[in-house]
Amino acid sequence: MKRLEGSIQRAVIGWAKAHGIRCDKLSSGSHFQMSGLPDFILWIPGGKPLLIEFKSETGKLSPLQTITHAQLHQLGYDVHVVNDVTQGKQLIKERYEKLI
């Protein structure tokens, strides 16, 4: 059974919060023009933030997301697309262990 983006996001973010990691949703509200930014910023203790875009197992980045993610990478930010709960948890664990 394929998981939807929202269920993957809830599982990974819930796991991260349960492990003491602050997670903030980056929304494209009417006050800011933030289109193309990843869904969440995770404040990994001891290091730079981890930016995650959640997608379903078959989801793809929009052209604007692709450009924005490339720009963020060029600026040195850690940006990842997560489409699997296990992958998301492993990514967070690796970043946490690498930075502390």
pLDDT reading at 90 higher than 80: yes
- The domains found in the chain, sorted by start residue, are 5-99 (3.40.1350.10)
For residue 77, the one-letter residue type is Y
Confidence of residue 100 (pLDDT cuts 50, 70, 90): low
CA–CA distance, 78 with 21 (Å, rounded to integer): 16
CA–CA distance, 64 with 66 (Å, rounded to integer): 5
Please state the pTM of the whole predicted model.
0.87
pLDDT reading at 74 higher than 80: yes
Interval 23-42: pLDDT, tens: 999 875 545 556 789 999 99
Q: What's the rounded mean pLDDT across residues 65-94?
A: 95
